[in-house]
A and B are shown apart, each in its own frame.
Chain A
Amino acid sequence: MEAFTVVESVLVPLDRANVDTDAIIPKQFLKTLSRQGLGQYLFYDWRYREQESHMVPNPGFILNQDPYRNGRILLTRENFGCGSSREHAPWALADYGIRAIVAPGFAEIFANNCVQNGILLVSLYEADVEGLFRKTAAMKGLSARIDLAEQILRTGDGQVYPFHMDPSVKHKLLHGLDDIQVTLQYQEDIRAYEAGRRLQMPWLFRET
């Protein structure tokens, strides 16, 4: 996993609440066997129109407009990433190049999946998010710089927004850690737990 330190980019305003993972990546792209290559289908139904089975960009969608085309920081509303647990959603976001998402709140499974894929989720107060939407409307192309170590988001006009972070998530993102490797350091604990459980509740184990 790519380690996360600082990301700087235009803020891409996606002004919708409850953006679900079906909208982030529709089901026809879940048949893949790979984690790569989904960026082209990100927000498919909003981003493209189908004309005679060709994908034509929908000019009304924010990612098809300058200067937002290759934005790396998404600004959005409450409950982003709700619905299906598909990790294809963060895979598509990461593959497109999104490294951070700013919103008042995120759906839980999606949030976990983002951490696994090096995407930083920044939760700000509703009022601050509202303020950022106003600013991006007034100053097209407003940029932001997010420093994870400092836990600060700074907009191009100099305003500073500190944010909270789970320390373990922060550590993992900063170092690009692989969870399995970390967990396997607890092998002995897992085996001891398992032995106890087998004694106490043998019906949970099929092989003996």
Chain B
Amino acid sequence: MAGQTLYDKLWMQHKVFAERDGRTLLYIDRHLLHEVTSPQAFSGLRNAGRKVWRRDANIATADHNVPTTDRSAGISDPTSRLQVETLDRNCADFGIEEFGMMDPRQGIVHVIAPEQGLTLPGMTVVCGDSHTATHGALGALAFGIGTTEVEHVLATQCLWARKSKSMRVWIDGELFPGVGAKDLVLAIIGRIGTAGGTGYAIEFSGPVVQNLSIEGRMTLCNMAIEAGARSGMVAVDDQTVEYLRDRPFAPDSVYWGRAVSAWRTLHSDDDAVFDRDVHLSGNQISPQVTWGTSPEMVTAIEGCVPDPKTAPDAVRRQAWENAQRYMDLTPGMPIMDIAVDRVFIGSCTNARIEDLREAARIARNGRKADSVRSVLVVPGSGLVKAQAEKEGLDEIFRQAGFEWREPGCSMCLAMNADRLEPGERCAATSNRNFEGRQGTGGRTHLVSPAMAAAAAIAGHFVDVRNWK
């Protein structure tokens, strides 16, 4: 018998009950909640007179709607305010711990859970949010769910699921200086397409992944969903263990040794067989920039906007034409000639301390181009913000003419006041370039933090490998 994949192990360990046809009741160790996808779940519980099954497995925070400017005055948009207050009330009523808007630990749910040690190797982690895949970076099985499933987890601590197929994405070699996890994951999506991972759980592995920091692995797993996969994961290694040491919710000295030995088993066996294998070479990856309205519409910085006539099929040809019309780009245009109006550095993909350090490295001694209207730097959490300020990164950003904000989702999806005006073009470190994602009529180019900072200073996309 072939060995087990990491996914096999995680799946097996959480089986509560399996039907003969494979439908499985999975136990959920950690449930994360935020204000947008939970209100209807709590009202469902109330209407049915149900209780929360296991309160200590849940943790909540407000991130999507919160303002990134001074919060002492509260939230001015009444519907946003009501949604955040509803979360506060629901958590109080049902006895769930919440990091409220004024809590220093508040932040984007996918940033704060690993940071607090709320995500641990071997856990199943779910959240009413597709970017839950992020937590797989710590050797957890993590996936996004809808609101009815949120209610189901609250009431039963379980979910019904069917096992996915397994895909291994193996990245050989090494990345050039200036090329990071974001470029890597965009290149992977460019290769397999936005539906390429549908039906699969992806394990990222190989020398390049081993050399990535935990933050970088989170960037990678975060965008597994952009390749269609509900979950992405990376095996546990020394880095994982070191990352978790002394985190507030990580096991204390009583259990640490036992926990670590359990975590050490969380990797695919050498003889494990995957349903699909994808290989990339890190040495061939350039900084990436998306040119379209789907993350798979991506190319290298030295590339050009492609000609729809060269699209692989008629459906995609049509999609490329639509996207280029929306993005106001013409085939053959060099990516480096694309000028941006705004820059957004933030989101659960790229708002951890390492991302801000990368952006600051580029911004140091630079100055935002006059043609760029604003550059928003939005840390992923209150603790990331504090750390960045301790390192003086906020000063570097301010001196470069960038705005230094409070933590939250911000212009990743523009549910708060941070958004693009129609027609504006943005270099963004977030994960979705869909039509209208950052504001109705807004145009998004996905890039790494270094590339975003460089675009802010140059006024157009540049190759950060040549940055002086």
Contact = CB atoms under 8 A, between A and B. Distances in A.
Nearest to A181: B48
A28 to B, nearest CB: 7
Interface stretch (A12-20, A145-153, A157-165): A12-20
Interface string A88-130: 0010000000000000010111001100110000000000000
Given A83-B130, A85-B144, A26 B228 contact: no
A124 B415 CA distance: 36
Interface in B2-50: 16-17, 19, 21, 23, 25, 27, 29, 36-37, 39-40, 43, 48, 50
B48 A180 contact: yes
B146 A113 contact: yes
A18 B148 contact: no
B88 interface: no
B158 interface: yes
Contact of B152 (A30, A166, A180, A204): A180
Given A105-B198, A109-B230, A202-B255, A45 B436 contact: yes
Contact of B129 (A78, A85, A197, A205): A85
Interface in B38-69: 39-40, 43, 48, 50, 53-56, 64-65
Contacts, number: 176
A82 interface: yes
Contacts of A15: 318
Contacts of B199: 108
B319 A33 contact: no
B256 to A, nearest CB: 8
Given A20-B434, A31-B79, A201 B158 contact: no
A193 B28 CA distance: 11
Nearest to B294: A18
Contacts of B319: 16-18
Given A33-B82, A85-B130, A87-B37, A113 B148 contact: yes
B149 interface: yes
A194 interface: yes
B425 interface: no
Contacts of B435: 22-23, 45
A193 B16 contact: yes
Contacts of B23: 168
Contacts of A32: 79
Nearest to B249: A206
A82 B25 CA distance: 25
B146 A85 contact: yes
B148 A87 contact: yes
A207 interface: yes
Contacts of B151: 180
B147 to A, nearest CB: 4
Interface stretch (B107-115, B120-128, B329-337): B120-128
Nearest to B195: A79
B210 interface: no
B73 interface: no
A47 to B, nearest CB: 13
B292 to A, nearest CB: 10
Given A34-B40, A193-B16, A87 B294 contact: no
A186 B25 contact: yes
17 contacts: A18-B319, A22-B432, A22-B437, A30-B64, A31-B65, A31-B79, A31-B415, A82-B194, A83-B130, A87-B146, A109-B145, A109-B146, A168-B19, A186-B25, A190-B25, A203-B250, A203-B259
Q: Which 7 A-B pairs have the closest CB atoms?
A: A203-B251, A113-B146, A116-B148, A87-B146, A79-B195, A206-B56, A85-B130
